[in-house]
Structures are given as C-alpha cells and as structure tokens.
Amino acid sequence: MLKNSMLRLHRNFIISACLALCAFIFLYAYMGTPKPLIKWKWMDIIGEGGTAMMAGLWLLLMLSSRPRGLLTRLFAFGLAAIMLGSWADCLDEFFVIPKEDIWAHLLESMLVFTGMLIVTAGMYYWREEQFALNEHLQKRERLFRDHRAFDRVTQLSNADYLRLQIKLEMDNHPGLPCALVLLDIDQFHLINRQYGQHEGDKVLLAVSHMLLLNLHNKDVLCRYAGDRFALVLHDRSLEEAQALAVHLCHMVRQMRYCAQEQTLEISMRHACTMADDVPDNLLSRLSRALEGSAHASVEPPLPAGAL
C-alpha cells in the first residue's frame, strides 16, 4: 500500500515518461526507414534496450520509495533522461535515419550525458541527506546506549534522567556553564481533546524528531512531562541557550502536521536558565516562567486554514 501510494504521488511524471517513450517510437518511424530483420544487431539491441529498461526500473523503484522533493526530482529527471537516451539509441537499430539528420545523434548522446549530470547532482544532495540522517541516527543511538530511563511515546529520556544529568553536569563540570531550556507545546490539550490521545502522541513524536534534528550530539533532549521537553546544554551560555530555543521554536512552527485530513500548525514556548541550583528548583523555576508566558499563546493549534 505504501509503495502504491508513493507511486500515485508521481503518477503524472510516470505517465509523461511513458508517453515520451511512445513518442520516440513514432518519431523514428516517421523520420526513418525500417531496417530489414537481417540487419538487426541483436547484441546492440539487448545492450541498449536493456540499459533503457534498467533505467526505467530504477526510476520506478526510486519513485516508489520517495516523497516529492528536490532530490526526488533530480533522480527522476536524470534517470528518465538516461532511459530515453538509451531508448533512442536502441531505436536506431530498427530504423535507418539519414546521416544529415543530426537530431538522432543529439538524442542518443546528449540525453544520456545530461541524465548522468542530473543524477550526479542528485547523488550530491543524497549524500547531504544521508549525512543529516546519520547524524540523527547517531543521536538516537546515543540516547539508547547512554540513557537508562525512556519515555514510552518519544523514546527520549524521561524526567528522572533529566534530573540526574543536571546534577552530573554541576558536579563534574563546576567551572563550565550549563544552560537549561524548557519547551512547551502551545494548547496541546486541544489536540488531545479534538483528535484523541493517539494523534497527540504522534504530534509529540514528530516534535521530538524536529528538535533532535536541530541539536548537537552533546546536547541532551528529554521529555520532561506531558507536552514539555527539556534541554541540558553543556558549556552553553544563557544567551546561546536563548538563541537555540528561539531557533527550535521557529523550526517547530514551520512544521505542518496532518491529523484526520486537517493541517495543524504547532507552536512552542520556551524558558531558559543556568544550572545554578538543585534540579527540582531549576525545573520549578522554568515551569513558572512558562506558565507566566502562557497568555502569549491564545490561538489553539487547530486547522491552519488557508495554509
């Protein structure tokens, strides 16, 4: 079902590629003269036609596993160009094209070359995407390897580990600054009320992923309680913590979460402090600061209207 749904996303492109293949057949049939069977070169037909078929197969496999986006478009156009160029080269084995008609040579050579260039650009962006994914997985691996207490919904560390980490930072690095950030999802209770707890849990998981993608490996992200997330920022000043918190809230704000065919806009509030007291006092201080700023979030995270 997932593969079929992915292919449906790219239905227009797949139809266009199939029409282009058919158009090439009509073009060569109209502009050229059919070769007699005895002059067919079967090795060239198998090689060139097989290349076109493999490029088409790679195209379908890629489209069946990726959503829309720049990287998908680069791979799609590149593989389609290679497929069409190889197909044109194969059709040249069935039809005689006058030597003065250079369009056939251009189709055979330039399409494949252009396709290779586009696929190469796609490989570059794919490499960058893999670096980002690998960094995200490393953060997840570190959490599973180092942390002993996990939140069931987000698989982040829980409040107990948060308190332990704050204490360890203060005990082991007394000369280095350590900042704490508390993040709270605005009007989260309305999501649970309107869409159910299961949908609310999915929102929490999506937000945790977005936060992790925007943190350094040494930053510790925990689910503190309910819809609140906490950050322990080793060797960070209060100004750096404030800037990071603003950035994280901005990135979450850019998310568009789909719940029951409606698009939700998620927003967050934040509070920051330095680790200069016992963990419970610090967390209480941050919680009071968030509650004091609750009036700034009066719009519920309900359907985002004409987004």
SS (H, E, C) the chain: CHHHHHHHHCHHHHHHHHHHHHHHHHHHHHHCEECCHHHCCHHHHHHHHHHHHHHHHHHHHHHCCCCCCHHHHHHHHHHHHHHHHHHHHHHCCCEECCCCCCHHHHHHHHHHHHHHHHHHHHHHHHHHHHHHHHHHHHHHHHHHHHCCCECCCCCCECHHHHHHHHHHHHHHCCCCCEEEEEEEECCHHHHHHHHCHHHHHHHHHHHHHHHHHCCCCCCEEEEEECCEEEEEEECCCHHHHHHHHHHHHHHHHCCEEEECCEEEECCEEEEEEECCCCHHHHHHHHHHHHHHCHHHCCCCCCECCCC
Q: Which tokens go with 40?
A: 């067919």
For residue range 158-209, list pLDDT tens digits in order: 888 889 889 988 888 888 899 999 999 998 888 888 888 888 899 999 999 9
Q: What is the pTM of this model?
A: 0.51
For residue range 19-51, list pLDDT tens digits in order: 999 999 898 888 888 888 888 888 988 988 899
Q: Is the dihedral of CA 158, 209, 179, 168 positive or negative?
A: positive
Q: How far apart are CA 265 and CA 47, in angstroms?
A: 52
Q: What is the pLDDT at residue 307?
A: 31
Percent of the chain beyond pLDDT 70? 89
pLDDT(220) > 80: yes
